[in-house]
Chain A
């Protein structure tokens, strides 16, 4: 059986909080597509972009604990994370544990004191929610399940920083046809195209939204987000599709902030790619949590006769 059809699921903190809609739509889409999720038991935060600045090896430990539970307590081969931060951190931990004796030593020491099995590199494969659908089902399988084609909806696909950078932690990418590209990622484009959407040519797919300083240096974040929103509008997009709770809330928050603080209004909407897929699969906007987004996509969906 395809090992991606049933995976250990690591939602991460954001999906329990502000990105509840992403959690909900991911689960609904999985159900509709026959892809199974088994939530990692009693998981912990991976440290996001913050803990590494206090100590990078602690971040490695935090990620390793999640993978250890998946491998040693649940017998999973694959862990799926829908958050770029979580996905990135688990990948980084995997890389460091395979390559660096110092990281192995610290992880061993903390794991022992914490009283759980130490994670060993190679025990699980970490994937993103995009890989899950792309490899678990694929575009052809997805096309067969589309009931409400996204035809006429113009989408800019936004992947952010951590899905592709730094490239050395993603050894499976850039391996030619069928694999993901770190310079021109396309997995989300592929899936949404299969769902009928029209992907616009969007040059800022992997631009940074300044998420690291969203509150500590808000003006820079607002400027960076505004670049992204404007570029999407200039490319003719109605919607920016997102695949990360931090990117998504960064765009939403700073769209509001740009308007309130800089007087710069933009009207492009943000929707998680799982929300868009859910709608294409015939689920109601409410079921995939569109009403929970800050940027109100309902009117647009109605306008396009998708809701």
Chain B
């Protein structure tokens, strides 16, 4: 596979005059191509440190920009704008406003860890993607992604009962994100199951979930986890100067 490059020159900054004569010489067309100068003044020198203060971002400083992460990335293969190597570069350079141009797709990392497998510097780029997505949310640059809402729904259930039940998670998540549970394809899937297994239909859609799996004697563990999570969240907000 080729190395996936990301040009630092934006297409809109490449200027070409269709008709241009300079000192009597015709330089129309590509002859006159030049790059509009761009001066970056809004560096955020704390950016790398802020990302490194969030879980997963700890090792961002190790990156030497080889590009193996982007080259192996599952999401990059679907969307070439998804470029972990480039974002790590921007973060290390403190180019916050450049990073923000891609703010709405960073959360799409599917945690496949192909990048972590390929990275020669143990940067753990998968973690850096998660840290960056959380940084965007904490700073208010993006609303909580659906992925974050799903993680939170899941974690709340684990903290509460020690176990999860898929139907309940799906219902909780759809409620949090304001989506209809009766999506065509979910219904179709349930129908296919119901042909052979009527019980499972109810289980999946949560209509018949009376029984809620739980770990016995979980409450102390759940409370200890919750206390720890709150402590960590306060620390992170402090590191990002949000207090």
Interface residues of A (CB under 8 A from B): 13-14, 16-18, 42-45, 47-58, 61-62, 65, 106, 109-110, 113-115, 161-162, 164-167, 182, 207-208, 210-213, 215-217, 220-221, 223-224, 252-253, 256-257, 259-261, 291-292, 294, 296
Contact = CB atoms under 8 A, between A and B. Distances in A.
Contact of A113 (B146, B167, B221): B221
B110 A213 contact: yes
Contacts of B17: none
Given A110-B224, A113-B220, A216 B155 contact: no
Contact of B173 (A167, A210, A215, A220): A215
B41 to A, nearest CB: 34
Contacts of B163: 13, 16, 44-45
Given A165-B114, A212-B111, A220-B78, A256 B221 contact: no
B185 A51 contact: no
Interface in B187-236: 188-189, 192-193, 196-197, 200, 203-204, 213, 215-218, 220-221, 223-225, 227-229, 232
27 contacts: A13-B163, A17-B167, A18-B200, A18-B204, A42-B216, A44-B218, A44-B221, A53-B148, A54-B151, A58-B228, A58-B229, A115-B220, A161-B112, A166-B113, A208-B74, A210-B110, A211-B110, A213-B147, A216-B146, A216-B173, A221-B110, A224-B78, A256-B188, A257-B185, A257-B189, A260-B188, A291-B197
Contacts, number: 173
Interface residues of B, number: 65
Given A115-B220, A256-B185, A261-B185, A161 B158 contact: no
Interface of B: 55-56, 74-75, 78, 108-114, 116-117, 124, 126-127, 130, 134, 145-152, 154-155, 158, 162-167, 170, 173-174, 177, 184-185, 188-189, 192-193, 196-197, 200, 203-204, 213, 215-218, 220-221, 223-225, 227-229, 232
Contacts of A57: 55, 228
Contacts of B225: 58, 61, 110
A143 B174 CA distance: 47
A51 B200 CA distance: 27
B15 to A, nearest CB: 36
A110 B151 contact: no
A76 B153 CA distance: 33
B208 to A, nearest CB: 12
Contacts of A292: 193, 196-197, 200
B220 A17 contact: no
A253 B232 contact: no
Closest CB pairs A-B (n = 6) = A208-B112, A114-B221, A113-B224, A216-B146, A50-B154, A44-B162
B229 A54 contact: yes
Contacts of A296: 192, 196
Nearest to A20: B200
Contact of B217 (A42, A43, A211): A42
Contacts of B108: 213, 217, 220
B158 A62 contact: yes
B109 to A, nearest CB: 8
B120 to A, nearest CB: 13
Contact of B150 (A109, A208, A216, A256): A216
A52 B221 CA distance: 17
Contacts of A52: 55
A182 B207 CA distance: 41
A44 B232 CA distance: 22
B189 A252 contact: yes
Nearest to B112: A208
B111 A256 contact: no
A18 B110 CA distance: 22
A110 B221 contact: yes
Nearest to A211: B110
B189 A294 contact: yes
